[in-house]
Amino acid sequence: MRIEKLIVKDFRSHGLTRVTFTSGINLIIGQNGNGKSSLLDALLIGLYWPSRPKDLKKDDILRAGGTSTEVTVFFEKDGVRYQIHRNITRGMAFAKYHDGTSWKHVTEASQRAVRDWMERLVPYDVFLNAIYIRQGEIDAILESDESREKVVRQVLGLDRYENAYRNLLEVRKEIERRISSAEDYLKSTENLDGLMEELERELEDTLREINELSPQIPELEKKLGEVEKRLGELDALAEEINALRLKIRQREGNVKALEARLGELKKGIEEIRKRIGELEKKVKEFRRLKEKAELYLKLVEFRKRYADEKARNEKLAEGYRTQIKAIEERLSELGEMEKRIRELEKKREELKGKIEGLEESVKAYEEVRSLKGNLERLKKRLELKPEEIERLGKEIEAAKRRKDEIQRELEEINGKRGELKSRVGERNKAILELKKAKGRCPVCGSELTEEHKRELITKYQLEVKDVLREIRELDSREQKLRSELVKVEATLKRERELISQMELFEQIKELEGKLKKYDLEGLRKAVEECDELKAALGEVEGELKSLKTEFGKAKALEKRKEELRKKLEAIERKLAELEGELAELGFSSVGELDERVKELEPAYRRYLELKGAESELESERKRLERTEKELAEAEKELQEESSSLKGLRESLREKEKLYSKEEHEKIRESFVSLSRELAGKRTQLKELEKKRDGTMEKLKKLGEEKERRKERAKELEELRKARERVQSLREKVRRYKAMLKEEALAKVGELASEIFEELTEEKYSGVTVKAEDRGIRLGVVYNGKEYGLGFLSGGERIALGLAFRLALSLYLAGEISLLILDEPTPYLDEERRRRLVDIMGRYLRKIPQVIVVSHDEELKDAADRVIRVSLENGVSVVKEVELGV
């Protein structure tokens, strides 16, 4: 797997970031908090969301002020290019591959589907354990033997074999459960033959009863059929008689209803004819009043229009006259403004000349204010007095010298302590050998007596005691030196503060020198005078602008006055035309018009009352026509109903002659009796057949159970063999896991030894890695002796943890094509960081692509590509730099 490109949007401190990765060593560098490790977290989320470490939560990754978190990863695997895109906020995702011409989907577009596909391509555990070395793994390696073994299991994939070993146990338990089930089944089905014999006897009895009952049913069915036929004939005859009686009652009702309907229709025709006569008189009156009504409407309409238009136009005319008068008054006022405008223009030019003469002084004053502001800010930042700066400089120089002395003394103490511990080990070993020895001394080879043995043991014990006291003295001295070193380091940390304060002091002196060149009081007065002149100029220009604006309105006012006069003339013409229309109608005044309208109003009201008479007359005539037609149809229908009623009564008399109620009841009783007897026989036969079928089904199942019992017996033998094979395979997995772990740890130990030797300048000659019951023990070889982690200084412990973790990944270098290291240099001193650069160049180049995140600039020397991350206005910014290999 090789990462090609990462695109991140609104992820933690990243707004929109694009990063390209190449083969070789890619270094992501920048200060802590700038967003370096966020790029690795985004890569992990882009590939495997929603699977991710517990410290990566959805609510914590959206950038403050961002809209939605999006991650796109381009990578190559086995010669095929892929891309995965995820919108974490909206829960959207897709995965595609490139077929040489275009991108195509590899799965459905959902977060879980993409995660499952990626899990099949590169499992999450493999990526997180073998490929990605996260911050904190070095601490886990150094924490304890148990935590170290957990890291080894995860990186080397030993958990898979442990899972297989446990799973095979579960398989064996399942086989044993099935064996037990088969044995129970065979025991419970031992008496199948006896059950089958009993069922066969029961089946024989049932068949005999069926044979006796079967002939009786056809005889009963024949007799019942004859009775049922006669009963059907009588039922049909009775039904026909009842139907005829019902029809006769219906016909009689219809005749009575038709007779009543005829009387109502004749009465209605008389009333309609009377109504038509009344309406014909109203229609004649309506046509006579039509002319007066139309004249009334015409005069009313004109009267309304006359009143509305006259009132509206008279109001407009009055408004136009008022506006014309106001414009004439304003034009008179504007004639006085021209003189004032010329006076103000002259005053404006005088003020501008004075202001220009003061501009140099104003600029100088602004510069003085800027210098004073800078001086005040610098003085606030200056925390030390000149004598304190000088004293701090001397303290820092002394601290540098003392640090070198302490480090040299600590190295001497470590060396001497190692020699003393070696002597203690040698003497303790000698004591043990002496306690076991018999005959000759294992040290000098001379004859060994009990007294001589005790003397030698006592001597060695005293030597061990003296050496241990000396070691404690060295430890006490080391503790004091390290305590003093902490204080010295605290003093040295103030060197940056000293440099900053010295620079501030020099800047303050320079600014104070510049300020002495200016006449501050004279410049201040010049600025005040300039401000007063500018205020006066503003007032003059404001008044001048207002006057010119008003004066420029004269022409517009003249134009507006002419427009208003034309509109007034048009209104006056309209009023004259309106009076002309009144005269054309024959009236000299509106009063005459109102009198004529009043005269015509009663005729108009009567006209409205009679307006619907014509349509109502037409409607009544049509109604008369429909009613007369309906009367004729009713008379015809009455004649037909009477004839039909007569025929039905004759047919009823003929049917009643053929029917006997007594015979009908007797036949019905016979039919019920025979039906019950037949139903009983059929039910009895059905129960016997059901019993027969059930018994046969039981016999069939018992036969099948007999065959199944043979199969289960055979299955039991197979299960017993399978249990033996699973137990054998489980033992092989256990042995293979132990062998794989032993081989891997041996190779990891070799690689870790090489790296650790270089990190410690070959002070140590190797690293020991041993698998024990409770974990993996890690040690070092010094002067031919093996020591635990307690023998190492703090920096050496960190170097050993880093060497061991890199060795684990290098052991897998033939299987992985990508390695990611997040901050591999925490707590390493400057010398070990430089050596790590050499190690990366020599060892990590065995892996096709390496991505390293660090804040240490020294690692640039080992990188093929540098990706620099900085923080600008709270947002992470990335710049990429190609380097020569």
Alpha carbon distance 584, 581 (integer Å)? 5
The binding site for Zn(2+) comprises: 441, 444
Question: What pLDDT does residue 327 have?
Answer: 78
Question: What pLDDT does residue 866 have?
Answer: 92
Over 60: is that where the pLDDT of 262 sits?
Answer: yes
The DSSP element (H or E) to which 89 belongs, if any, is: none
DSSP string, 203-255: HHHHHHHHHHHTTHHHHHHHHHHHHHHHHHHHHHHHHHHHHHHHHHHHHHHHH
CA distances from 427 to 39, 431, 451 (A): 56, 6, 18
> Taking residues 864-880, what's their average pLDDT?
90
> pTM for the full model?
0.41
Alpha carbon distance 434, 440 (integer Å)? 9
Structure tokens at 217: 């049913």
Do 26 and 865 contact (CB within 8 A), yes or no? yes
Over 70: is that where the pLDDT of 882 sits?
Answer: no
Cα end-to-end span (Å), the chain: 22
**Nearest 10 degrees: Cα torsion 740, 743, 746, 749:** -50
> Taking residues 139-152, what's their average pLDDT?
74
Question: What pLDDT does residue 71 have?
Answer: 94
What confidence tens digit (pLDDT) does each residue in 660-682 have?
Answer: 788 788 888 888 888 888 888 88
The binding site for ATP comprises: 12, 135, 791-796
692: exposed, middle or buried (C-beta count within 10 Å: 0-12, 13-18, 19+)?
middle
Closest by Cα among 382, 359, 258, 329 to 635: 258
Question: What pLDDT does residue 54 have?
Answer: 63
Do 527 and 377 contact (CB within 8 A), yes or no? no
Alpha carbon distance 486, 663 (integer Å)? 132
Question: What pLDDT does residue 75 have?
Answer: 93
Name the E strands within 303-453.
Answer: 439-440, 447-448
Average pLDDT over the chain reads 82
Question: What pLDDT does residue 461 have?
Answer: 83
Do 401 and 487 contact (CB within 8 A), yes or no? no
Q: What single-letter amino acid sits at 404?
A: D
Do 37 and 867 contact (CB within 8 A), yes or no? no
The structural domains of the chain, ordered by start, are: 2-135+810-882 (3.40.50.300), 224-333+554-659 (no CATH), 335-552 (1.10.287.510)
- Long-range (24+ apart) CB contacts under 8 A made by 200-203 are 200/699, 202/695, 203/692, 203/695, 203/696, 203/699
94: exposed, middle or buried (C-beta count within 10 Å: 0-12, 13-18, 19+)?
buried
DSSP string, 505-521: HHHHHHHHHHHTTS-HH
> Taking residues 556-578, what's their average pLDDT?
83
Q: How many CB atoms lie within 10 A of CB 722?
A: 15
Alpha carbon distance 543, 533 (integer Å)? 16
> Taking residues 789-799, what's their average pLDDT?
76
The binding site comprises: 12, 135, 441, 444, 791-796
At residue 28, φ and ψ (nearest 5 deg) are -100, 115
Question: What pLDDT does residue 878 have?
Answer: 92
> Taking residues 317-322, what's their average pLDDT?
85
> Taking residues 220-238, what's their average pLDDT?
82
What confidence tens digit (pLDDT) does each residue in 538-562 have?
Answer: 888 887 787 777 777 777 777 888 8
Do 92 and 71 contact (CB within 8 A), yes or no? no
CA distances from 161 to 155, 157, 165, 351, 847 (A): 13, 8, 6, 97, 26
H-only helix segments in 493-553: 495-515, 520-551
pLDDT band for position 96 (cuts 50, 70, 90): very high
- How much of the chain, in percent, has pLDDT values that exceed 90? 8
Question: What pLDDT does residue 354 have?
Answer: 82
Over 70: is that where the pLDDT of 447 sits?
Answer: no
What confidence tens digit (pLDDT) does each residue in 152-201 have?
Answer: 777 776 667 677 777 878 888 888 888 888 888 778 777 777 787 888 78
- Strands, sheet with 818-822, edge to edge from the N-terminal-most edge strand: 103-105, 92-98, 80-87, 70-77, 2-11, 14-20, 875-882, 865-872, 24-29, 849-854, 818-822, 132-133
Question: What pLDDT does residue 278 have?
Answer: 81
What confidence tens digit (pLDDT) does each residue in 595-636 have?
Answer: 888 888 888 888 888 888 888 888 888 888 888 888 888 888
Over 90: is that where the pLDDT of 4 sits?
Answer: yes
> Taking residues 766-775, what's their average pLDDT?
80
Structure tokens at 273: 């004819």
814 three-class SS: coil
The top-scoring range by mean pLDDT among 87-101, 161-175, 482-496, 523-537 is 87-101
What confidence tens digit (pLDDT) does each residue in 798-843 have?
Answer: 777 778 877 877 777 666 788 888 887 766 667 777 777 777 777 7
Question: What pLDDT does residue 9 have?
Answer: 94
Alpha carbon distance 648, 664 (integer Å)? 24
Question: What pLDDT does residue 884 have?
Answer: 47
What confidence tens digit (pLDDT) does each residue in 346-396 have?
Answer: 888 888 888 788 788 878 777 877 778 777 877 887 888 888 888 888 888
Over 50: is that where the pLDDT of 885 sits?
Answer: no
Contacts of 733 (CB under 8 A, 6+ apart): 161, 164, 165, 168
Structure tokens at 208: 């005999």
Structure tokens at 123: 């499992």
Over 60: is that where the pLDDT of 444 sits?
Answer: no
Do 125 and 814 contact (CB within 8 A), yes or no? no
Q: In the block, which residue shows the tokens 């030698």?
A: 456
> Taking residues 280-302, what's their average pLDDT?
83
- How much of the chain, in percent, has pLDDT values that exceed 70? 94
